């Protein structure tokens, strides 16, 4: 019952945000295109999520480093591999991660689920974090490249 209430409250919040945005647009208030482009919804696991996106529709947010032993697809975690965890992208997807602090970018393969902390969009393996220059947390932009074979 608690989980259904949580999902209901989240759907109410999403509907309220949509209604608020519609009211702002209906009143003729000018919204910068970059600001409007950052409000994007996506549906995952029966939930509606509001995420920050850039102008091209790519995800942006905070990246962190993770140290799991076994990943969601059953692999043993290789700390030197270019892998990452994401909540909703399909396992095997290739994602280009751009570090906004230093301009570095790298392509990683999604092989795990997470992060489970609000505001974080991706968990990087230690190897990927080293290449990107991430030690701890960093603002990043993600571009989904496709699915690997």
Per-residue pLDDT of the chain (149 residues; tens, 9 = 90+): 555 555 555 555 555 556 555 544 554 444 444 443 444 444 444 554 455 555 555 688 999 999 878 998 889 999 999 999 999 888 999 999 999 999 999 999 999 999 988 889 999 999 999 999 999 999 999 998 866 54
Evaluated on CA atoms 144, 72, 106, 60, the torsion sign reads: positive
What CATH number is attached to the domain comprising 69? 2.40.40.10
Two tokens, residue 128: 């990927």
| Domain shared by 70 and 138, yes or no | yes
- In sequence order, which residues have a C-beta less than 8 Å from that of residue 48 and are 6 or more positions away? 10, 11, 14, 41, 42
Q: Please identify which residue in the block is written with the tokens 């209906």.
A: 26
| Domain shared by 34 and 100, yes or no | no
| Domain shared by 72 and 137, yes or no | yes
User: What confidence score (pLDDT) does residue 76 get?
Assistant: 92
Q: Please identify which residue in the block is written with the tokens 């790519």.
A: 58
Q: Which domain holds residue 87?
A: 59-147
| Domain shared by 103 and 31, yes or no | no
Domain count, the chain: 2
pTM for the predicted model, two decimal places: 0.64
| Domain shared by 76 and 108, yes or no | yes
| Domain shared by 82 and 141, yes or no | yes
Q: How far is CA 105 from CA 51, 89, 99, 121, in A?
A: 21, 19, 6, 16
| Domain shared by 32 and 89, yes or no | no
User: What confidence score (pLDDT) does residue 6 get?
Assistant: 53
- In sequence order, which residues have a C-beta less than 8 Å from that of residue 66 and are 6 or more positions away? 85, 112, 114, 115, 123, 124, 125
| Domain shared by 118 and 134, yes or no | yes
């Amino acid at each position: 019952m608690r989980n259904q209430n949580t999902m209901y409250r989240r759907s109410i919040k999403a509907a309220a945000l949509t209604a608020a945005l519609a009211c702002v647009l209906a009143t003729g208030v000018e919204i910068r295109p970059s600001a409007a482009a950052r409000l994007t919804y996506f549906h995952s696991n029966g939930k509606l999520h509001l995420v920050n996106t850039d102008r091209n529709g790519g995800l942006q947010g905070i990246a962190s480093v993770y140290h799991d032993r076994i990943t969601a697809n059953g692999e043993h975690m290789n700390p030197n591999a270019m892998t990452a965890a994401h909540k909703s992208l399909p396992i095997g997807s290739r994602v280009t991660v751009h570090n906004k602090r230093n301009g570095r970018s790298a392509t990683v393969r999604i092989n795990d689920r997470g992060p489970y902390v609000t505001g974080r969009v991706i968990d990087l393996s230690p190897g990927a974090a080293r290449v990107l220059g991430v030690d701890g947390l960093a603002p990043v932009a993600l571009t989904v490249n496709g699915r690997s074979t």
